[in-house]
Amino acid sequence: MLSERRTQQAAVAFVAVTRIASAALLGTVMAVYIDAVASEFYVSAALAVFHLGLLFAAPFWGAVADVTGRRRAVLFGTSVLAVATLLPLAVTQSLWAQLGVRGAYAVFAAGFGPAMLAIVSARGGTEGRGRAVGFYNSALSVGDISGRLASGYLIGFLLPGETYLLVAAVGALGALGVLLLTDPTPSPDEQPTVGEIRAEVRRRLLPAVGDRDHLRTNGLHVLYVALVLRNMTQKGMSSIMPVFLISAVGVSAPTMGLLLAVSPTLRTAAMYLFGRVADRVGRKPLITAGLLGAGAQALLLAGALVPADLTTRIAVTVVAFVVHAVTFSALTTGTIAFIGDVAPADRESELMGLRTTTRGVGGVLGPLVVGAAATLAGWGVAFVASSVLAVLAAVLVAVRVEESLAT
């Protein structure tokens, strides 16, 4: 018989893999389907709409999870509703239908990260938080690999409506997997009323001036600003990446899927490794290196346009994805462990949700800026300009954020 710890690790992995596989598959195929009927700007707008939903919904679901203590219920309910929003795409795949569904999906998908991260963080405890986060992020990477690889092949074999039904089916598996989880996080002695929940959520989303000290611990507020800048770079690039690989680099759809799977494949091991590193050397070095890595990846992708030979262009692109795998793993593990270190026990889901919100701000602004730049000035100019934001983010963290591991 498996121990309770191993059983819960398996449940966490299953939920993470299925949920992220569904999301990765959705984002990749939608980019290709929209590119067939509209410009690069609308391709990037799809990711911007997604992050706009995350921007407002993530802190809401995080606050609800903290106030009620029912994080598993939040996970299950939002998972089911996220799957339900995808069903209209089985009938119509017009541009506006796809953009609208992407935004509606985000509103409910936003409930996954804050509640799940709080559960994972609590399981790791103070001494093993980095390792627990690393294991969880490795599972996310496996899901990302599955979704990216499958997308390149499904585009050629299934009709769009059939593909979107498959995305919903994979998401439904993730919702069922939530029922296998147990929740070790603290719960209130008495369940609050609906009015009390509403008042507390409002207080947390719009904290008074005297209720913001928890946002400044060890420079947490500066870290959030840095994540906005970094995500403007990263999400701006990723919003048009499937189209960039096919149209600019010149690869086929199956090869596009393989290239997009390079980073999550490497992250499977890198996330787990950096989880251990975070518990040994601290969080700040990983965060700083991760921010710089986003800028390096942008410059490499711009450089992939220079060679005339397709093989060389693919090789440079692979190096860019390798850089992303390593530095993204460092940034994600370091950031989540940092927030877990400094967050009060009854506000951890809230602050994890705020992390998603800051990523959402970058995810809204970045795709619009980079997509517009790519349309007007070309791919290379868009990528080089976006790298500056990631470097600025790294400088902010290096100067203004204090290490949290000792704390």
In 179-219, where does DSSP find H-type helix? 194-205
At residue 286, the pLDDT reads 92
Q: Which two tokens stand for residue 269?
A: 């091991």
What DSSP character marks residue 110? T
316/284 Cα distance (integer angstroms): 29
361 pLDDT tier (thresholds 50, 70, 90)? confident
At residue 126, the pLDDT reads 63
Helix (H, G, I), strand (E, B) or coil at 53: helix
133 pLDDT tier (thresholds 50, 70, 90)? confident
Q: Which residue has the tokens 């009709």?
A: 159
Percent of the chain past pLDDT 70, that is, above it, reads 95
Q: Which of 66, 54, 32, 388 is nearest to 200 (CA)?
A: 66
**Highest mean pLDDT (candidates 138-152, 245-259, 311-325):** 311-325
Q: Does residue 218 come out as left (phi exceeding 0), alpha (psi in the -120 to 50 range) or beta?
A: left
172 pLDDT tier (thresholds 50, 70, 90)? very high
At residue 208, the pLDDT reads 56
228 pLDDT tier (thresholds 50, 70, 90)? very high
Residue 140 has pLDDT above 90, yes or no: no
Q: Which of 235, 272, 328 is nearest to 130 (CA)?
A: 272
- Residue 352 contacts residue 110 (beta carbons within 8 Å): no
At residue 271, the pLDDT reads 77
Which carries the bigger pLDDT value, residue 103 or residue 211?
103
| Amino acid letter for position 209 | V
Residue 124 has pLDDT above 80, yes or no: no
At residue 39, the pLDDT reads 76
74/72 Cα distance (integer angstroms): 5
State pLDDT tens for residues 15-32: 999 999 999 899 889 988
Instruction: Residue 78: count other Cβ atoms within 10 Å of its Cβ.
Output: 24
Which carries the bigger pLDDT value, residue 79 or residue 121?
79
39/25 Cα distance (integer angstroms): 21
**Average per-residue pLDDT for the chain:** 85
Q: pTM for this structure?
A: 0.74
